[in-house]
Structure 1
Amino acid sequence: MSGWTVERMPDQRGRVAVVTGANSGLGLVTATELARRGAHVVLAVRDTAAGARVARDIGGDCAVQELDLASLESVRAFADRLEHAAVDLLVNNAGVVLLGPRRTTRDGFELQLGTNMLGHFALTGLLLDRLRAAKAPRVVGLSSITHKGAHLDFDDLQFERNYRASPAYGRSKLASTVFGVELDRRLRAAGSNVVSVLAHPGLTRTNLTPRAWEHRGRLGRVIAWGGLLATQPVERGTLPQLRAATDPAVQGGDFFGPVGLWETRGRVGAARLSREAADPAVGRRLWAVAEELTGVRYLSAP
């Protein structure tokens, strides 16, 4: 398979990169490749002991800092403790998927929406001034092909009625995608030097993949592990977000993913947004809801 590879990543020396969920899966590969090319990488993780082990394995210039995206208190504490006056790159990578019965964050949000989108929304706003202070700053949001089959029901955004884990996950990834697109609109309107870019990994073999079926018993576990055979390795699935993070030609609003077999695998190229994800009215409404829920307000609507 030809196309963009990690060998095309430019030198990252002098860049400060914050990668959420950097101790496993896509985040681990992202942090590793950035550090290999000289970036100072902040591993933003819930488990700092695990993060420290990962940092030792990665080598390079890495720091570990606690961040639990399911807690707005933790998000605010992370932003307050971050030592760097300027942040060149924020990779909003961390996420949870398909957790069986409905669960909530410490702030009472549906866990998948609260972690995958609302936590990152708050983090981005709290770090925006530090991003603005960098020379060519980027925010990379992690989408999913599941966003295309999802819908944001603003009358029951957090699935308080008739909860189903899989649609709730799809909704959280649609919300993350809408956030990335709306962030780009608002940054452009403000004339900001910060750019917002999106990426998705297609069907990729990560530590989250088997969890999608674990709660369905022995048969579910068999299906989960069998499904791994149809996925691509995590190193390939990480390429879209690495390109979004480092390719000098990237522009705000770009969206990268695999281009083969319905965007599930293959070389990196331009991915397609669903109609709802691209709708400015949906973006404005979700942004207002996110500001209200998190209490973090930034970038007025264009």
Structure 2
Amino acid sequence: MMTKRILGLIFLFSALFAAKTIEAQTYRPILQDSVRWIVVWDDISTPFSDDDRWEYFAQGDTLVENILYKKIYHRFLESKYGKQPPFQAVSPYVLFGLMREDTLTHQVFGIRLDTEVHYYSGCPSGMEALMYDFSLNVGDTINHFCTIPEGCGEVNIYSTGQSNVFGIYTRWFEVAGDCSWGRLYEGIGSSYGLWESMFTPVKSFYVWNLRLEYYCPDAVCPFIVGTKELEANDRSLKVYPNPANDKITIEISDTQSPVEMMIYDTKGLCHKSQQFDQSGNGTFQVDISSLPLGIYLLQIQTKSTTYTQKIIKANRATAY
């Protein structure tokens, strides 16, 4: 009887330990709508520590060669002379790049667009490259990242751990190399930013000239004054209910006809295509009852604009 009780306790503790281990190793996705990264640049030739500052903003999805990507916008923020948040924008949003991630392999890929607004990224323009691999272990080499600058020799994962980063408890990976060191943050990016090269120059002593200054995991971001441009763009397309079961209603502010509507799955397969004549209305209904349950990308094409929005086919509709 005593032996059975001891074995039972051992099994219980083993199960609890395994559950905690699995929980600790749960992957945290990096790409979600409304996430913001604020990066600051220190020109090592000046006495100021915030010579330039910019923001990345994740918002909306799009398809490239039938692959689903998250849109990443960029704009400059006020800087210099130790400016404190909240920061005002000093330029409009520009679509900087596209990102996707494989939540099974924990890899993050990006396509940097040729916007000519940024000069600190080593990721190639116009083609997909590996940005981060959060499945690595101590001793692994990471020279294949486009965020690791060329010419730095062998760059390895020096150590790993977990800690609170910008209010998020997540895994970190210490990077060590000839001219590149710092940390990768699972679900965030790196201590240098998002697209930035992890290059470390020197002043009179070792000082990063690029650093991730703030990170906002959702739409509430107290470090920035307003995001009216993209918010206004979001309001130009409304889809409800979402999730939906049988029908969705689509409203667009662009009343030009005709309107071409396509619904794609996450693999890029088009499940539904339909053309509408708005007649100045801008509102129409789409029957999705034949779609299997899951996540889809709705694409609306007018004469002047392409709108995209993620929709969910569920067992029950959700009130809006």
Q: TM-score range by the shorter chain?
A: under 0.3
Q: As a proportion of its length, which structure holds more helix?
A: 1
When normalised by structure 2's length, the TM-score is 0.23
When normalised by structure 1's length, the TM-score is 0.24
- Return the structure number with greater relative CO, CA threshold 8 A, min gap 6: 1
Q: As a proportion of its length, which structure holds more strand?
A: 2
